[in-house]
Structure 1
């Protein structure tokens, strides 16, 4: 993967009309300054906002093929996300992304638990066309994944092509965090 790859980050917020600089924004800025990895950051507070942001990216951004990682920072419970107090399953999210994520890595921050079995992960990958889906099996509130481990993961995705090698290197460099947050990647 080359250095012209980007991250598209979509963060769930209580109200998109209220402008605040979140920890995620600060970390994405730091990622750009330190490692030269560019990103587009958007917020959403409804499922319609998520769909609109995705549609804008797909149909209006001519550099969409350069976005290797779709980074979703959204609260939720096991295998669902919460937007505006409504829960949406990963099956519903897969249907929204249907056929639109070819070759992308969909990465969830540890604001929610990602715990897929083989059938669920293969369904998500088959419906979306994504190359991989990743996230964390542990929602550890004292450590936001966006602060260290997500940045390391994104950096490795820029350097390496093989997801197995990416996961191995991530565990070598950040073993304690990978274990604490239970980093997972399905492909």
Structure 2
């Protein structure tokens, strides 16, 4: 893969007016220092904020093609996200991303469960144009997926084939992959 691959992270927060450095942002900074993987971080507290951030990335950032991973750290339940106490289904998210994620991996942190049927995953991939969608089948309030996310991002930089990426991730971090139930649909 190209050495100049980036991560675009959107984190759902209760209030964007609160100017706090989150654990996610600190980990992205460490990822840049330790592995040389650059990222752009945006916080959002509404679906409009998510759309605006995405549109800014798509239309104003001339390096958009270099963003391999769209990293979504948002609370929710199985197959939906929650912003500002409102739940959005994966179908609604797919429609927001419609045709805009060509060749991207959309990765969800374990702040929410990702449990798609084959048809739901294919619908999401077809509508968004994404190469793959990944996340976790288990949420554990006291165990964040941040370290496994960083390992996944590093492997995405090294390897081209998602099957190889998943196999390598399981070889290196088997217990954590099983505990958090890492999943990838492509």
> What's the TM-score once normalised by structure 1's chain length?
0.99
Structure 1 segments (4+ residues) deviating >2 Å: none
Deviation at 1:141, TM superposition (A): 1.3
3-state DSSP class of the match of 1:165? Answer: helix
**Match of residue 185 from structure 1:** 184
Return the alpha-carbon distance in structure 2 between the equivalents of residues 183 and 134 of structure 1. Answer: 8
CA positional deviation for 1:20: 0.5
Q: What value does the CA root-mean-square deviation take over the aligned residues? A: 0.4
Measured against aligned partners, the alpha-carbon deviations of 1:61-83 in whole angstroms (never above 9, x if no partner) come to 00000000000000000000000
Inter-partner Cα distance in structure 1 for 2:115 and 2:50? 22
Q: What runs of 5+ residues in structure 1 fail to find an aligned partner? A: none
1:111 aligned residue: 111
Distance 1:133 1:107 in 2: 6
* Other-structure match for 2:166: 167
- Mapping of residues 34-113 of structure 1, within 5 Å: 34-113=34-113
For 2:132, the equivalent position in structure 1 comes to 132
Write the distance in 1 (CA, Å) between the matches of 2:106 and 2:27: 18
Query: Residue 158 in 1 paired to residue 169 in 2?
Result: no
**What runs of 5+ residues in structure 2 fail to find an aligned partner?**
none
SS at 1:142's partner residue?
A: coil
User: Which SS does the other structure have where 1:138 is aligned?
Assistant: coil
2: distance between equivalents of 1:106 and 1:47?
Answer: 17
